[in-house]
Amino acid sequence: MEDGGLDDERAEELTTLESIYPELVIDATNPYRATLELLVAPNKPLLVIFDPEQEVERLSYLPTLQITIELSESYPAVSPPCIQISTSPSWLPAGSTQKLVAEAKSLWEEYGGGTILFSYISSLQEQAETAFGLDELTLPSDLRKELVEYSRKMKRELFDKETFDCEVCLEPKKGSACYRMARCSHVFCVACLQDYYNNCIKEGDVNNVKCMSTECGKSGGSKRKKDRLLSPKELLQIPLARETVERYAKIKRKKKIESDPNIIYCPRSWCQGAMRTDKYPKITDVTQMDDSDSETEEEPVVQSSAETADTKVEKRAIGVKGMDRLAVCEDCTLAFCVVCLASWHGDFVRCEPRDKTQLTEEDQASLNFILKSTSPCPYCSVPCQKSYGCNHMTCAQCETHFCYLCSSWLNPDHPYKHFNDPKIKHCWGRLMDGAEGEENGVQFGGARGAEQAAQFWEEEAMRIQLQINEEDTR
């Protein structure tokens, strides 16, 4: 009777444990032997160093802890449970494994010979959340690929099973229909992300290809930072079409090149390609462009001339000597001199810089249009043209607030004060001038106003001269 009671107690404990942990498997040939796999998902990703290459990974998930439990006839009154712990592949240090096995006996002694399996497994689960007390782990390099792929697979599988409220459409969606942003962990449904990013890239508005959460990018400091743009690699993971991602990468690169004053362009009028530079390598494969291509951009710091002289080389300076003058066009491969813009003439030929007034007919026409039809940003000088709306503008390049009429900087916190101040006579009460994009008759200030006045008086002078000529012919 006593043996039967012990058998019932062991079987009852395993049956109860099976109802709590459905993944518990009781051996069909031995009802007092069971196996259980515990998820190992540290609250803080575990730092793993792979020798001998010293490659470092931070893993959010590690292969499961495999527990084998066998209850002897004398359990629980006389002897503790027989526990075996392993992992596949073997990543847990032998010392940690032995310690976990020994805890079963210690717990059994603490309970005074009672049933301890639930408490023991609960203890293992708690320790798994801290990676069993490990701050870092050193493993052979041949395990790296398998462990990294396992962590990614588990992360995706668990994510797919959850339900999230998309921060754009606010509808509950399964994780399989959502995407978690790599840097900030905000979650959106794939449909909303694709619709927004495809539209941004189609319109060329690449500066808005970033997380759409209103909370993202906020900083407690006083220094204003731009939100980090998404990398092409992450856009492909959402996924976006490859040709769309390639357009995004090319537009972003083009913007960086155009804002760099050190970049010289090919002197051939039919080419006008940028010079080759390691700073902005040509895009060959967007799948290999990782987060390093989308660094956090900060507002540029204005340096003194003394600081600039030590840290920056101005390619167009007359004093550029030797091979520093050589540049190669990345499009047509023409080798040319950055000083005189002629085909490369060798290291020992003396040359002079090309006069800035020596513009081609096409360049001059473009310049005339820009001066006449656009207002420059007061911070980065990017020309801006309004299609509709009020005269409070926000630069698409640097996000500076300014007045479209006079190009004055506006306080981002009170941008409309400029148009309500009687002391600013030129812009007072003129917030909606040209609101529909029709600028005929609109009076501008600043450099554009000067260009407008110069054109008016030039046309007026021509009108008067024609009038005089007509009178003379009479």
Q: Is the pLDDT of residue 293 over 60?
A: no
pTM for the complete prediction? 0.56
Q: Is the pLDDT of residue 104 over 50?
A: yes
Beta bridge partners, 51, equal: 140
Per residue in 129-156, pLDDT (tens digit) is 999 999 999 999 999 999 999 999 998 8
Q: Which amino acid, one-letter code, is at 243? A: E
Q: What is the pLDDT of residue 283?
A: 85
Q: How many angstroms separate the CA atoms of 275 and 260, rounded? A: 12
Per residue in 309-338, pLDDT (tens digit) is 333 333 344 445 556 788 999 989 999 888
CA 109 and chain centroid, separation = 54
Q: How many angstroms separate the CA atoms of 387 and 163, rounded? A: 42
Per residue in 228-242, pLDDT (tens digit) is 889 898 999 999 999
| 214: region left, alpha or beta (phi > 0 left; psi from -120 to 50 alpha) | alpha
Q: Which residues of 431-465 are buried (b: 16+ CB within 10 A; e: fewer)?
A: bebbeeeebeeeebbbebbebbeeeeeeeeeeeee
CA nearest neighbour of 27 among 4, 11, 50: 11
